[in-house]
Amino acid sequence: MSSSQSNPSPALAQPGPHGLPMRFVVRHAGRGFKLCGEDAKAPLHHIAKHRAWFSKHEQLTLYTSGHKKDKSPPLITIKKGVLGSAPVGGKNSKIHIPNFESYNIELHTSNQQPVVEMKYEGRKGLAKDKYAFTLVCANGRRETFRWYEADRLNCPEVRAIYKRDSPIVKTGMPKDPKKKRIGRMVAGSYLVRVTDGAPHCPGDPTALLGWDEKGREIVASYARGGSGWIGGTKMFFQFWGSGATGQFGQDFTRVAAASGAALWREQIAEEKAAAQRRNQNMNRNMNR
C-alpha cells in the first residue's frame, strides 16, 4: 500500500476551487510531474517540462488528464521570455532594459484572456524576488496579484503546509506572533492580492493566518518539498481566502497553480547554478 493511501491527509482531501483540492502536492512522474490530491495513484493533472533549444529556462505545461499517456489537451503553458522592459535603479527610473525574467502564461481554454504576462519586479530586501500578474477575473474586475518569496523561518502560510500530515489551516485562524530566530528553514512563496480597493484584514494581520504584514489578503502559497531525484513530494501548494473559494474564476486558479510551480522550479535552478559557480570558484582557487 502506498504512503499516500496508508497515511491519508485530511488537508489534501479538503475541496478547493474549480476541481482542485484546497491543498495539493506535486510529485515526480517520469520526465515530468503529477499534480495530486489525497491519493498519489490518482493524479489530477500531468505537468510536462520542456526546454527550448539554446534556452536555460524551463517551460511547464499543465494538461487536462493526470497521465501523460492520455495525450489530453493542454490547459496552460508558462515560460520565460523577453516581455516588456524593466526599470534600472528603481521603479521611477527613466532607464529601462529588456525584461528577460518575466513569464509568458498561455491559457489554452480561456475565453477572457488567452495570454497573461507575469512581470518580474525585482527583489524585496536582499534576496526576495517579486513577480506580479493582472487577470480579468470571474467578477469582471481586473485583479492584480503578486508573488513574494517567503522568509524561510517566519512565514506561517508556507511553513504550515510543508508536510503531508500538516493539519488543515485556513484564513482567519490564529498564528504564532513570535519571530523565530532558529529552526528548520522552509523555502517557498506566497501570492498576495494587491488590487486597489481589495479588502484588508479585519483584525491584527500579525495574529491571523492568510494576511501579510500590511493586512493584504494572501490567496495562495507553496512550500518546497524534498530535493531527491525520484519519488516523494516536491512541492506543497495551498489556496487561501478568496483564492480557496474560487471567486476569482477558473483562469485564476490555473494561473496561480502554474505560476507557483514555475517559480518553484526556477528557485531550484537558481540554487543549482549558484552551487556550480561556488564549486568553480573553489576549483580555480585550489589550482592557483
Q: Tell me the pLDDT band of 282, cut-offs 50, 70 and 90.
A: confident
pLDDT over threshold 50, residue 242: yes
CA distances from residue 99 to 73, 120, 250 in whole angstroms, order as listed: 30, 7, 28
pLDDT digits 0-9 by tens, 18-67: 999 999 999 999 889 999 999 999 999 999 998 766 667 789 999 999 99
Strand partners, 98: 85
Q: Tell me the pLDDT band of 274, cut-offs 50, 70 and 90.
A: confident
Report the alpha-carbon distance of residue 288 to residue 278 in Å, rounded: 16
- Output b/e per residue, 141-157; b: 16+ Cβ within 10 A: eebebbbbbbbbeebbb
Is there a contact between 198 and 141 (Cβ–Cβ < 8 Å)? Answer: no
The number of CA neighbours under 13 Å toward the Cβ of 250 is: 11
Phi/psi at 263 (5° precision): -70, -35
Q: How are beta strands 45-50 and 59-63 bridged, if at all?
A: antiparallel
Element at 224 (helix H, strand E): strand 218-224
Q: If you average pLDDT over residues 138-149, what whole number do you get?
A: 93
Q: If you average pLDDT over residues 247-275, what whole number do you get?
A: 90
pLDDT digits 0-9 by tens, 94-130: 665 555 678 999 999 887 778 899 988 876 555 567 8
pLDDT over threshold 80, residue 232: no
Q: Tell me the pLDDT band of 2, cut-offs 50, 70 and 90.
A: very low
Mean pLDDT over the full length of the chain: 85
Report the alpha-carbon distance of residue 201 to residue 109 in Å, rounded: 34
Domain limits, the chain: 22-286
Q: CA nearest 107: which of 260, 264, 250? A: 250
